[in-house]
């Protein structure tokens, strides 16, 4: 019974820490910016490890690595899975990495058990998910989704002026396959949650139903600079006080649309700040997310109304401009269902959830039936060298991945699998 098959958790755990040697951080994490020499090292290591596991590795023209495991039906679209091996400059050992190395562990497990699936399996290491060296983030999967052309991406430059094309050549990662040339029967990405929910609820697995929609805004509030000693409280046009009201209004509005809606003011700057001057201006950003497009609309409208009201009440003026919006990404119900069934069959606790962060899977979902598997991370912390996930949680997530991809690859022939 393939449903009894389990990955080797201690081997997966050792592999995770083995690859942390490529681009070691200063505080136990990983510094492996995309297409850096360290990224080149981990890519070489990954290619060899895949070949040892009997996989055929190819690379596309943006450096994305594909490791193929043949199926009985060579004409079937492969069931794809994976994530990314690049990190933030002060990143952790798990973000992205877990999804790729758990995929490798799945391949190793199937190889050792001598199990052949109906459809082929395809393990992917997407180039530049993080976006901290080259923009945009989720670069290769964005080309896969059709949001950019390969040529547009190859011309992007890092802060030192190096293009993506030059960086790919420098580490010998230019392949011949075109991004997007390969169709997937499904895509499944295992990832740490990067949030606190699973840990707080002591739940092993997040069955991910989609990615949130995101809207970014730039705002400003303008009042009148005046002397902190000579301007009575009742005669002030204090931009910071208007901004403070708006921060609290944004929190109230997001809570009223809860539990999924989140609104964050992450940057705020007083114009010409001085200890004894009433602030005359504040510039700020606002990040708004929700899984429902109409809720994003409603919240944006309420935020605008609230800002107008606050500014009017304090004789301030305001601007609030939407600079970017990404629509919510619903994942495919059949793939979500496959993840849920695999989790249940393994006897693991789970909850349905929405990804608050962007992932390669959110791009792939534009072209192929997709879902994600989340596992808890300590304190919800990621993009930080202290990022951590337990061996048990990593093992559980990899077993869900194993059972999910086996079920998806055998869908047509396996009587326990439901069609999508």
Indicate the annotated binding residues. Answer: 84, 95, 130, 191, 383
User: What contacts 100, CB < 8 A, 6 or more positions away?
Assistant: 46, 82, 83, 84, 85, 123, 124, 125
Q: Which residues contribute to the annotated binding site for Zn(2+)?
A: 84, 95, 130, 191, 383
Which one of residues 24, 337, 356, 420 is an interface residue with a copy of itself (CB under 8 A)? 356
Closest by Cα among 371, 374, 344 to 102: 374
Number of chain positions touching a copy of itself (CB under 8 A): 61
Nearest-5° angle of CA 70, CA 402, CA 334? 90
- Residue 350 pairs in a beta bridge with 205
Asked if 202 contacts 348 with a C-beta cutoff of 8 angstroms, the reply is no
Contact status: 381 vs a copy of itself (CB under 8 A)? yes
Return the range that interacts with a copy of itself (CB under 8 A); candidates 8-16, 63-71, 116-124, 248-256: 248-256
Asked if 257 contacts 212 with a C-beta cutoff of 8 angstroms, the reply is no
Which one of residues 63, 82, 195, 291 is an interface residue with a copy of itself (CB under 8 A)? 195
Contact status: 200 vs a copy of itself (CB under 8 A)? yes
User: What contacts 312, CB < 8 A, 6 or more positions away?
Assistant: none
Closest by Cα among 307, 6, 338, 59 to 174: 59
Which one of residues 83, 212, 403, 410 is an interface residue with a copy of itself (CB under 8 A)? 212
Nearest approach, Cβ of residue 76 and a copy of itself (Å): 35
Nearest approach, Cβ of residue 401 and a copy of itself (Å): 20
Which one of residues 1, 17, 74, 259 is an interface residue with a copy of itself (CB under 8 A)? 259
Contact status: 355 vs a copy of itself (CB under 8 A)? yes
Asked if 278 contacts 229 with a C-beta cutoff of 8 angstroms, the reply is no
Q: CA–CA separation, 14 vs 391, rounded Å?
A: 10
Q: CA–CA separation, 388 vs 190, rounded Å?
A: 15
Which one of residues 264, 301, 333, 416 is an interface residue with a copy of itself (CB under 8 A)? 264
Return the range that interacts with a copy of itself (CB under 8 A); candidates 1-9, 147-155, 251-259, 392-400: 251-259
Contact status: 231 vs a copy of itself (CB under 8 A)? yes
Q: CA–CA separation, 171 vs 38, rounded Å?
A: 9
- Characterize the bridge pairing of strands 277-278 and 226-227: antiparallel
Contact status: 84 vs a copy of itself (CB under 8 A)? no
Phi, psi (5° rounding) for residue 238?
-90, 110
Asked if 411 contacts 72 with a C-beta cutoff of 8 angstroms, the reply is no
Helix (H) or strand (E) holding 370: strand 370-375
Contact status: 279 vs a copy of itself (CB under 8 A)? yes
Nearest approach, Cβ of residue 85 and a copy of itself (Å): 20
Minimum CB distance to a copy of itself smaller for 179 or for 263: 263
Contact status: 14 vs a copy of itself (CB under 8 A)? no
Question: What residues between 141 and 170 interact with a copy of itself by CB under 8 A?
Answer: none
Contact status: 203 vs a copy of itself (CB under 8 A)? no
Contact status: 293 vs a copy of itself (CB under 8 A)? no
Which one of residues 278, 299, 307, 400 is an interface residue with a copy of itself (CB under 8 A)? 278
The binding site for a copy of itself (CB under 8 A) comprises 193-197, 200, 212, 214, 216, 226-235, 238, 240-241, 243-245, 247-248, 251, 254-255, 258-270, 273-279, 285, 287, 289, 355-358, 380-383
């Amino acid at each position: 019974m393939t449903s009894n098959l389990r990955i080797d958790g201690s081997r997966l755990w050792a592999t995770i820490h083995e690859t942390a040697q490529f681009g070691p951080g200063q505080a136990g994490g990983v510094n492996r910016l995309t297409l850096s020499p360290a990224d080149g090292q981990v890519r070489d290591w990954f290619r060899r490890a895949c070949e040892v596991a009997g996989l055929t590795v190819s690379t596309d023209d943006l450096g994305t690595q594909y490791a193929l495991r043949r199926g009985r039906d060579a004409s079937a679209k492969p069931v794809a899975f994976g994530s990314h091996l690049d990190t933030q400059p002060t990143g952790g050992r798990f973000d992205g990495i877990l999804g790729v190395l758990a995929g490798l562990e799945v391949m190793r497990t199937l190889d050792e058990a001598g199990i052949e699936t109906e459809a082929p399996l395809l393990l992917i290491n997407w180039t530049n998910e993080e976006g901290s060296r080259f923009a945009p983030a989720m670069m290769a999967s964005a080309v896969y989704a059709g949001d950019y052309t390969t040529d547009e991406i190859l011309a992007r430059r890092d802060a030192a002026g190096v293009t993506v094309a030059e960086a790919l050549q420098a580490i010998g990662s230019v392949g011949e396959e075109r991004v997007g040339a390969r169709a997937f029967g499904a895509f499944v990405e295992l990832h740490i949650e990067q949030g606190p929910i699973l840990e707080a609820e002591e739940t092993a697995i997040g069955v991910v139903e989609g990615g949130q929609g995101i809207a970014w805004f730039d705002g400003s509030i303008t009042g009148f600079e005046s002397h902190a000693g000579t301007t009575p409280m009742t005669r002030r046009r204090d931009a910071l006080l208007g901004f403070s009201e708006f921060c609290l209004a944004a929190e109230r509005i997001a809570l009223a649309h809860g539990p999924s809606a989140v609104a964050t003011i992450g940057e705020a700057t007083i114009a010409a700040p001085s200890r004894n001057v009433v602030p005359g201006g504040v510039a700020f950003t606002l990040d708004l997310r929700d899984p429902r497009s109409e809720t994003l609309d409603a919240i944006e409208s309420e935020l605008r109304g609230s800002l107008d009201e606050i500014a009017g009440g304090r004789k301030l003026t305001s601007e609030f401009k939407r600079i970017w919006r990404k629509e919510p990404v619903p994942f495919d119900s059949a793939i979500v269902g496959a993840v849920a069934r695999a989790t249940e069959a393994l006897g693991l606790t789970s909850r349905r959830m929405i990804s608050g962060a962007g992932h390669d899977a959110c791009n792939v979902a534009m072209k192929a039936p997709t879902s994600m598997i989340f596992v808890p991370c300590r304190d919800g912390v990621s993009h930080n060298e202290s990022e951590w996930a337990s061996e048990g949680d990593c093992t559980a997530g990899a077993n869900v991945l194993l059972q999910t991809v086996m079920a998806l690859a055998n869908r047509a022939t396996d009587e326990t699998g439901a069609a999508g």
